[in-house]
């Protein structure tokens, strides 16, 4: 992406390099993403995760003391600037879209962190992957996640993959503002795990659709290959692709984010239409 002239968002908290003030087992980014994916796709993985973490703590535990801070590398500084500019573009797009639909846009915040972070949704580590917390309207992102996505799951490199992930998480903020997330949580109550998972898939695919809407609105900043980078990332984080790599087989009933094909389809639909009214993944997938 060519973001020359784009200002960095002021709605960003850069906590990278700062201690969370608590004891954190640091097993490297590789272990972080493994824990994240195990929890997502293997319901009975808690004993396995606990065993791995205990081994890490015995041999590799690093205790972060309160007030400890590490200096960011030049590349980390540049990555942070890029993320802040992308967040500015999400603010511009959704401020305009919401206004066109007769609504005010309550801007979220982006929190860049390393290793561990405190949120209104509880404590989290890099193992959680990028996520949105509706309790404080903040997107939490350890940018090291993108390196793992490329090296372990085959996503193409490039800055637009990062932009896609940020735009997807902001999509969850839009769902919170529109009341979609709250309705889904209500519908999930009392349902079987498989039925609740289907609703989660619809929610995630809609966030992919919103990311596509955002990309269309900012296509003047795109460079050759950027959309392909987003599609590659969407393909890499499909439930079927991840399950195949992690456990050697695919169980559709445990899908929570959608297949690679679905994630690509809904991102492309958002990009092609640019119309938020075309993103009813619930009617499309549940009827």
pTM of the model: 0.81
30-50, pLDDT tens digit by residue? Answer: 444 444 444 444 444 444 444
105-137, pLDDT tens digit by residue? Answer: 999 999 999 988 999 999 988 877 899 999 999
What string of DSSP letters covers 217-258?
HTGGG--TTHHHHHHHHHHHT-HHHHHHHHHSS--GGG-SS-
**Position with higher pLDDT, 73 vs 38:** 73
CA distance 160 to 233: 9
What separation in angstroms does the CA of 8 have from each of 13, 47, 241? 12, 43, 34
CA–centroid distance for 153 within its chain: 15
159-209, pLDDT tens digit by residue? Answer: 888 999 999 999 999 999 999 999 999 999 999 999 999 999 999 999 999
- List alpha helices for the chain, DSSP H: 29-41, 46-60, 74-100, 145-153, 159-178, 180-188, 193-217, 226-236, 239-247, 260-273, 281-286
Which phi and psi (to 5°) does residue 57 adopt?
-65, -35
């Amino acid at each position: 992406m060519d973001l020359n002239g784009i200002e960095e968002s002021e709605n960003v908290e850069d906590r990278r390099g700062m201690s969370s003030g608590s004891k954190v087992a640091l097993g490297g980014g590789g272990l972080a993403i493994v824990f994240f994916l195990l929890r997502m796709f293997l319901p009975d993985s808690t004993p396995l995760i606990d065993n791995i973490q205990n081994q890490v703590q015995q041999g590799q535990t690093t205790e972060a003391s309160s007030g400890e801070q590490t200096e960011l590398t030049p590349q980390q500084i540049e990555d942070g600037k890029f993320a802040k500019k992308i967040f500015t573009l999400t603010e511009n797009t959704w401020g305009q879209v919401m206004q066109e639909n007769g609504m005010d846009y309550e801007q979220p915040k982006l929190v860049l962190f390393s290793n561990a972070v405190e949120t209104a949704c509880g404590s989290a580590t890099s193992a959680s992957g990028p996520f949105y917390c509706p309790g404080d309207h903040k997107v939490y992102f350890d940018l090291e996640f993108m390196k793992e996505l490329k090296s372990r799951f085959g996503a193409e490199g490039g800055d637009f993959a990062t932009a896609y992930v940020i735009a997807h998480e902001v999509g969850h903020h839009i769902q919170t503002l529109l009341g979609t997330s709250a309705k889904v949580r209500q519908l999930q109550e009392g349902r079987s795990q498989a039925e609740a998972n289907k609703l989660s898939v619809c929610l995630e695919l809609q966030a992919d659709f919103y990311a596509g809407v955002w990309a269309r609105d900012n296509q003047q900043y795109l460079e050759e290959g950027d959309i392909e980078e987003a599609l590659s990332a969407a393909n890499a984080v499909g439930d079927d692709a991840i399950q195949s790599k992690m456990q050697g087989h695919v169980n559709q009933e445990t899908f929570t984010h959608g297949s690679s094909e679905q994630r690509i389809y809904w991102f492309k639909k958002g990009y092609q239409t640019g119309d938020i009214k075309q993103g009813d993944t619930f009617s499309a997938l549940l009827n």
